[in-house]
Chains A and B, each alone.
Chain A
């Protein structure tokens, strides 16, 4: 019996104390003093007197619970439920006992009796019990109701956010946790949970930002350090990820799987591929029974050594037949090698194991299409599209297979959807570390730090056009470039050209004015560039102005 339950029960008993008969008042006092045996005598006498009242049954139940006689406590509560099926305390206590005994069906039955109860405390208790039962959807629903009744209540938001995250409702989770973060901006727990939620949504840069702050708040929390490493890797900040894994490994030096993951991040860091591959190979030799090690190594060697990659994947699947990622990768690679008949069973296995995985369905569709099973391919692509509302690849593939079937109008809709969703360009992964540190700084300081970093780099590499462009975008954030673009777009092409020419004279080492000059000249010639940020208009969009092109 934990302290919280005891206190609750004692408090409940005292609440009834005033109306209770003298004997029962005495029993409650004895309970409070921990004199169970003496209290039991009084309760036994009262109960044997016949026709016990609900209050007596409730008190007696609480007494036996407090004193550790669970069967008798349960008996009193059950008797009470027969008299008053919606009795709050009886149902809650019985539900707790059931959940503690892993009898979740029973627990649910008691909680259902409280479904219409809208007292925040009761809903919160029910939410907690649902969460313990793993029913996060119901837990989320209860906590959300509590949060609605108590706006701004940190505990309610926190519980709602956590339950929603675990229920897979990432939108609600973000909403609740962002509100919780607004209430307590430096709460490490919220930063961590919110970071995990963003990572689960694939929004890794934001996840890195949040988890970096959570890590700063709790530098010895290994869970946070590991989550930060994984998010950095997901964001493509491989250099940062390597450092984060190393920090985690100082906290958990025996975690060899983190060493494996660090090797993977290292292999993806520009210029350190061989180093990473060698470490991963060493890990596989050290831990030959880890299927993930084989899988990760296969991911790194498929281009140069596809057969070795297939063998590694086969070993991964042999070690863990349920490793869906390895099955998927095997099917994917076999398809890339033109061995579609062989690829099919692996993707079918992966599909059975992960029926909600967009990429598996999409890849499965490609293999079916290659095998001229167009209708089945269409079904697979449709499944992928339904599972991944933002997945552009599946939309392209669905459009293509519909075109093959001659369903042009429908096909074009999907192809247009693909064009809308397709990112203009994949951003290059940031190889050098620094993003995690940057994320922990205030915005103004972060900007200054980035300026200093870029200035130093440009000084070291004065002719690097890409670096210069990054620096110029930061330096020109005062709006001068935007003003020139607006001038050009409003018809002042000649004037814009003059301005840019002047800027090119002022700053001959900058490339941005020259690029814009070329676009203005192209416009004067009646032309426009293509692609995102390839047209003059695009430079007014934040994505271009911030260099996200």
Chain B
């Protein structure tokens, strides 16, 4: 026991201070899920997507938020339901440019995905909706055009409730394709009403609604997309989709797709390298937890938490369930390690949504951030604070939320969360939405943090965003860190498209190897730390 205590002291974190700087900026966006006293509609807990993008290519990460709509009309009946685009002016100040950008939106919006689908060098936006999904093309002049109709990305079976989209070049043709996580078939007309004995509405259990297939759209490279859901093997399994993670789980150089499902087995679509996917969640060990049951999986992120060179799988879920962490066993299978890493008791009190691995202190170990809050507001303890679990050597996680800043004492119903270096200081900041509130923009002071390296990759043969690229950074002590570029993170959200590495005490990388999807490889030698590098595919 004494030994364990000493061990804890040894690794006791020097928590940095996250500061909520939202009040520095003048914008009106509040996450508004359309809940008016009394009637509750099924999609209302799913609101408040966040996307990080540099829409004006000024090198500073801007923010986009999705918003709800009025029920039962499902219309953005006023500015209180508008989506929002906030331009990063620097100094922690954001300017609301939603209207001039043409991004106020339509209908009830959920997840946002950022990707340069036409490879023109400007970040485009995909918004998943309860109704028709929307694709916005960045005109490069500060405005976006709704190109949904022309693109074909608006097509989906009527009534499909889409939660999140993610960009991926699954066939390595150099064009970003779209994978779409769907939840069910739902319209305001078919909405079920669930009421307690005392007459209070509550959100119905997911089993009230049928499961549906997720979808995959192939980018033809001419601004249009083809729905390849059935041809690709996506159409067979049905789920209740939430977060999407994109990475290469088996090291074959092809991107695979993980989709967290609410109350259904999770899916891991393994790329067959021929335009098709095989759903292998059960076989590879990520469909169920170790209790052999499903949970209400929400946000998802696939990164290498133990620095063994293989991407691991994480999802969060609801209170009294245990968040799932699956260690990748060299691409052959996954082992459920939630218990072994201490996530059981840490996570059980929380209902997590937005989530992701961020190395907040740049020690080279990816920590876990989760945006929390119950589905409903009825239970004692429903309003919750966000959590930051520090990764101790890739073995265990410890809760450092209490020392991470005043924000972590604030309770609410947080939903989307995205991670980005908003002030380019080398420390990962966090943006979180909360139902009925303005978002929190949490600036990381980087107190006591280590060195870092940030890479902005530009594909040439590969997709311009280089989504799917594998990056390996080796330091002078021989430590190698890995990441796979995919901004799709957590729940309804899209993070900084640049790849971030914390280097701890080491001030340089002896090598940086980048493998672009499709084969392009570049190795940089002796790269000094603490800078943002732009690297073009050779």
Contacts and interface: CB of A to CB of B under 8 A. Distances in A.
Interface in B196-235: 196-197, 199, 201, 204-205, 207-213, 235
Contact of B344 (A336, A396, A419): A336
A171 interface: no
B159 A403 contact: no
A303 B320 contact: yes
A400 B285 contact: yes
Chain B interface, >50% SS class: loop
B520 interface: no
Contact of B197 (A426, A460, A525, A526): A460
A411 B192 CA distance: 41
Contacts of A393: 291-292
Interface stretch (A129-137, A224-232, A236-244, A527-535): A527-535
A202 interface: no
B195 A461 contact: yes
A422 B294 CA distance: 11
Contacts of B238: 527-531, 534
Given A408-B283, A525-B158, A531-B238, A463 B332 contact: no
Given A340-B340, A461-B197, A519 B210 contact: yes
Nearest to A334: B339
A535 B185 CA distance: 12
B283 A527 contact: no
Contact of B292 (A303, A412, A422): A422
Interface string B178-201: 000000011000101111110101
Contacts of B211: 529-531, 534
A393 B292 CA distance: 5
Contact of A338 (B159, B190, B332, B341): B341
Contacts of A336: 339, 344-345
Nearest to B240: A530
B367 interface: no
Contact of B212 (A366, A406, A529): A529
A415 B201 contact: no
B283 A337 contact: no
Contacts of A529: 210-212, 238
A446 interface: no
Contacts of A531: 211, 238, 264
A463 B210 CA distance: 20
A476 interface: no
A457 to B, nearest CB: 9
B75 interface: no
Interface stretch (A39-47, A287-295, A318-326, A510-518): A510-518
A23 interface: no
A455 interface: no
B341 to A, nearest CB: 6
Given A403-B332, A403-B333, A531-B264, A337 B210 contact: no
A530 B291 contact: no
A404 interface: yes
Contacts of A519: 210
A259 B205 CA distance: 35
A369 B333 CA distance: 13
Contact of B335 (A400, A465, A511, A515): A400
B344 A338 contact: yes
Contacts of A369: 335
Contacts of B476: none
Contacts of B293: 426
A88 interface: no
A186 interface: no
A396 B396 contact: no
A425 B344 contact: no
B260 to A, nearest CB: 15
Contact of B213 (A408, A460, A527): A527
A527 B157 contact: yes
Given A335-B339, A463-B194, A518 B185 contact: yes
Nearest to A371: B340
A426 B291 CA distance: 13
A309 to B, nearest CB: 11
Contacts of B521: none
A466 interface: yes
A521 B204 contact: no
Contacts of A370: 337, 339-340
B440 interface: no
Interface string B319-332: 01000000001001
B158 A527 contact: no
Contacts of B204: 465-466
A462 B195 contact: yes
Interface string A139-152: 00000000000000
B348 interface: yes
A522 B157 contact: yes
A519 B212 CA distance: 10
Interface in A47-75: none
Contacts of A392: 292
Interface string A329-367: 000000111101000000000000000000000000010
A338 B212 contact: no
Contact of B158 (A303, A460, A466, A521): A521
B93 interface: no
A418 interface: yes
Interface in B313-368: 320, 329, 332-333, 335, 337, 339-342, 344-345, 348
A93 B335 CA distance: 64
Contacts of B288: 396
Contacts of B195: 461-464
A417 to B, nearest CB: 11
Interface string A517-549: 111011001111111001100000000000001
Contacts of A525: 157-158
Nearest to A418: B292
A411 B283 contact: yes
Interface in B62-103: none
B111 interface: no
Nearest to A421: B292
A306 interface: yes
B526 interface: no
Interface string A389-406: 000110011001001101
Contacts of A337: 339, 342, 344-345
A460 B342 CA distance: 45
A534 B204 CA distance: 16
Interface in B286-307: 288, 290-293
Interface in B390-429: 396
Interface string B257-296: 0000000100000000000000000111100101111000
A403 B283 CA distance: 7
Interface core residue of A419, A529, A530 (most chain B CB under 10 Å): A530
Nearest to B194: A465
A419 B345 CA distance: 28
Nearest to A372: B335
B332 A517 contact: no
Contact of B207 (A422, A425, A514): A425
Nearest to A457: B197
Contacts of B196: 461, 464
A514 B197 contact: no
Contacts of A415: 282-283
A519 B192 CA distance: 14
Given A403-B284, A522-B157, A306 B345 contact: yes
Given A522-B157, A531-B238, 7 more contacts: A338-B344, A396-B288, A460-B197, A463-B195, A518-B185, A521-B159, A527-B185
7 contacts: A303-B348, A337-B342, A370-B340, A403-B285, A463-B195, A530-B210, A530-B238
Interface of B: 157-159, 185-186, 190, 192-197, 199, 201, 204-205, 207-213, 235, 237-239, 264, 282-285, 288, 290-293, 320, 329, 332-333, 335, 337, 339-342, 344-345, 348, 396
Q: In the A-B complex, list the 6 residue pairs whose CB atoms are closest, starting with the nearest.
A: A530-B238, A529-B210, A530-B211, A463-B195, A525-B157, A403-B333
